[in-house]
Structure 1
Amino acid sequence: MPYDRWPYNRMGEIEGRLVVGGYDCNLHVLTSEHDKWDKFVRKNGDIRNVVCHQGVCLMCVKDGDKDQFVIEQFHLNEDKKWRFLTVLPNELQLYGVSVALHDNSLYVVGGRTESGEIVNTARVCDLHSGHWYKMDDMQTKRSSCSSVIINNTVFVGGGKTDGPYFSNIVECADVRDRKWRTIPSTTTYWPTLTSVSNRLVGTGGDTQQHWLYSSLSNIVELYDERSTKWLPLPLMTHKRVAHAAFSTQNGELITAGGAGGDYSIEYEDSIESLKCD
C-alpha cells in the first residue's frame, strides 16, 4: 500500500479498483491486474477524504496554494484530470472533517479549528447547484470521525473529542429531516464505521477512552437494528485505529492503513479483507 499516514476514510473503490488518497498530495489507484499502484499527482495540498460514486472520486483537499479546504473531483475513466468542484464554507474550513455521499448530496461533519477547538457542525452540499445547507449540530463534538450513509440515514461515529479523549458514541440523522439521535455506542473508542451490504459495521479503534492508556483493537462488529446491539464479526489480523474501511460492490469488507502499535509514532500499511455473506 502506498504510504498514507492515518487515512481515516481516504479510500474507496471504482470498478473493482482500490483508490487511496494521501498526505503525499497524490491519488493512488490499484491497477486492474492488482500488482502495482498507479499514481496521479496533485500539485500542492493533501487529500483528507475520498468518496467514490459512479466512476468519479470526490475528495476533500487541503489546497496548499490557496490555504483552504476544497472539494475536487477526479474522473478515473476519462481524462484523469483534477477538477475543482466547490470551496467549503468558512465554518467548514476545518481539519479532521468527515464526508459522506448520498445521491448528489455531500455531507460534511465534525472537525477542528486550526487552534484545536473541536466542533459538532454538519453541512450538506447539493452537488448540482453547489449550494450548501445547514443541518442541526450533532450532539457530540468530534474530529477525525467516520461517517457513512445507509438507507437514507447518515451515521457518524468515533473520532476525537475535547482533550485527550476518544469517542464511541454513534449518532444518526435521516437525510430528510436532518435531526440527530443516538444509537447504542460501539464497543471500542474511535472505530471506523462503514456499510457492508447496507448494514452498519464498526472496525478497529481503541479499547480505552484516554490516549494515555491506549490499547488498539482488531474488533469488527455489526449493528443489528432489530436487537439494537453490536454483534461480533471475525477479528481483523491487525490492530488499527484512524484507518480506512469500506465495502466493495460484492460485499467484501476492506480495512487499510491507520495507526498501529504505539499509535503516536507507528503506522499500519497493510490491507486486509473479510468476505461478509
Structure 2
Amino acid sequence: MDQRWENVVKPVFSDLVQVLDPLALRDRLYSNDLVTREEFQRLSHLHTKEEMTRMLLVDILPRKGKTAYDRFLDALQKTKGQEHVVEEILRPTKKDSVQNDAQKIKDLEDRLANAEAALSKQKLTTAGLRIKLGPRWYREHVLKWEMMKLREPLPLLECNPYGCVAEINGAVHLGWGNKIYWLKNGKWKEKRLETSSPIGSLIECEGNGYVINGGGFFGDRCKTISVWNNETEELELLTKIPPEYQLRHRSAVGHNGKIYFVGGFDGKKTNQVDCFDIHTKTWSEAKRTKQTRWASSLAAIDDKLFVGGGWGHSDAECFLIKEDRWVDIKPNTKEDCEWSSWNGKLVATGGHGSSNVVEMYDDSAGDWLPLPPMNKGRWEHGACATKENKLFVVGGDDVCNSLDGLRWPFGAQCFL
C-alpha cells in the first residue's frame, strides 16, 4: 500500500469529512475506472458522508495500487467544487517538501563533486561540466520536471509518438496515425491528413517541419516526405521516397539541410544510412552503421549523429559527419528510450518497461550523467527540445502494477 494514505491522508481525515463531497468524488472515480461497479453500488447504500468518505479513503482506494493516490488527487482537481480539497490534504506536507528539495540539491551537488573528481583523475577538463552541471544550474533548472498545465488534455485515446514530436516555428507538434497535433496557447489543435500511410517521423530541419509517411511505429514502409505549412496548416508533398530506401521502422533526423535515415527492417535488420538534401531534392548513401539496427534512438548535435539501441540492441554509435566515420560510444542504461538534443547535449528519457530515468551524455568525458527522473515512467514516447531550452516529453506507455494493467498517460511533461 502507498504509505501516503497512512502518512498524509489519515492525519487529516476528520477535516476531509467536513469538506469532501463523496458523491461527486464517487462519480468521478467511477468514470475514471478507479472505482468498480460493485464498489459504486456499495457506496450508494451508505447514508452518511463520514461512512462514504471512510470507505473511499480507507477501504477502497489504498488497495488500488501504486498510482491510486495520484489519480485520486487528479480526480479531486477535476471535480467541480472540490479543487480546494487537494490543498487541505497537502498543506501539512509542504514543510517536508521544502526540506526534501534542499536535501535533493545537496545530493546533486555531492554527485557533481564526485563526477568532477573522477574526471580530474582522468586528466580531463571539468570547466564545461561545471558550467552545465554546477549547483546553481541544478537548483534553477534540473529540479523542475513539471506536468504541463494545459487548458485541455491531448485529445488522444492512445499515443506512442516515438520520433514524432518536434518544435516547428515555436510550437510543439506531434504526429500520430494520420493526424498532426500542435500546442498553441496551452491548447491542442489537430489536423487530419489525407495520407495513405500513418506518420512515421515528424522532424524539424532549418526551421521547417517535415513529415515522413510510413517507416515508423506502425511498421509501414516509408513512402513520402512532405513539408508541414504552418500558415495554411496543410501538408505539401516534397518527394516520393525511392523504392530502395522504402524500409520499415526507420529512424530519421534533420541536420544542416539534410534528412538522415538510419537503419530499418526489410525482412531483416539493416545498417543502411541514407541522406536526402531538402534543397536539391537529391538522395545519397552515407557511411553505414557498424551494427544493423531498426527502431533505434537518433539525435543530431554539432555535426554528429548519435544512434543507439533499437530492437535487440543496447549498444550506441556516433557518426562524425565531417570525417565520414562511425565510432562506438558508451550506451545509456535503459533500452528503447527516446534521445533528444537539448541545450547542446544528448539527453535520454524513459525506456523499456516505462522507466522514468533521465540521463545526459557528456561527450568530452564519454560517459552518461544522471539527471532527476521524470514524474511519470514512459516508453515509446516522444520528446523534443524547444528554443527556450526546455525539454518537452509527451505520451508513451505506462506499465503499472495495478489491475488496470496497461494504461496510457497522455499527460505532457516539461523539463525547465
Structure 1's consecutive aligned runs of 4 or more residues displaced over 6 angstroms after TM superposition are none
TM-score normalised by structure 1 residue count: 0.84
Which is helix-richer, 1 or 2? 2
Q: Which amino acid aligns with 1:222?
A: M
Aligned counterpart, 1:138: 289
Aligned counterpart, 1:124: 275
Residue 147 (structure 1) aligned to one of 280, 287, 298 = 298
Going from structure 1 to structure 2, the CA distance change for 1:89 and 1:135 (only over 3 Å counts) comes to: same
Residue 258 (structure 1) aligned to one of 396, 409, 416 = 396
Larger radius of gyration: 2
Aligned counterpart, 2:351: 205
Aligned counterpart, 1:248: 386
Structural RMSD (CA): 2.1
Mapped pair 1:74 → 2:211: no
- Quote the Cα distance in structure 2 between the aligned partners of 1:236 and 1:189: 16
Mark the runs of 5 or more structure 2 residues left unpaired by the alignment. Answer: 1-153, 216-220
Aligned counterpart, 1:42: 193
Mark the runs of 5 or more structure 1 residues left unpaired by the alignment. Answer: 162-166, 207-214
Shift of 1:265: 5.2
For residues 189-204 of structure 1, the aligned pairs below 5 Å read 189-204=335-350
Residue 168 (structure 1) aligned to one of 314, 339, 342 = 314
TM-score normalised by structure 2 residue count: 0.57
Aligned counterpart, 2:203: 51
- Quote the Cα distance in structure 1 between the aligned partners of 2:365 and 2:273: 28
Shift of 1:92: 2.3
Mapped pair 1:101 → 2:254: yes
Count of residue correspondences: 253
> Would the aligned equivalents of 1:55 and 1:75 in 2 still touch at CA under 8 Å?
no
Shift of 1:144: 1.5
Which is strand-richer, 1 or 2? 1
Percent identity (aligned): 26
Shift of 1:2: 3.6
Shift of 1:190: 1.4
Going from structure 1 to structure 2, the CA distance change for 1:16 and 1:170 (only over 3 Å counts) comes to: same
Aligned counterpart, 1:20: 174
Going from structure 1 to structure 2, the CA distance change for 1:60 and 1:68 (only over 3 Å counts) comes to: closer
> Would the aligned equivalents of 2:205 and 2:258 in 1 still touch at CA under 8 Å?
no
Residue 231 (structure 1) aligned to one of 348, 363, 369 = 369
Q: Which amino acid aligns with 1:273?
A: C
Going from structure 1 to structure 2, the CA distance change for 1:146 and 1:81 (only over 3 Å counts) comes to: same
Mapped pair 1:184 → 2:327: no
- Quote the Cα distance in structure 2 between the aligned partners of 1:19 and 1:34: 13
- Quote the Cα distance in structure 2 between the aligned partners of 1:13 and 1:216: 24
- Quote the Cα distance in structure 2 between the aligned partners of 1:271 and 1:82: 25
Residue 413 (structure 2) aligned to one of 269, 272, 275 = 272
SS at match of 1:74: strand
SS at match of 2:399: coil
Going from structure 1 to structure 2, the CA distance change for 1:266 and 1:177 (only over 3 Å counts) comes to: farther
> Would the aligned equivalents of 2:174 and 2:180 in 1 still touch at CA under 8 Å?
yes
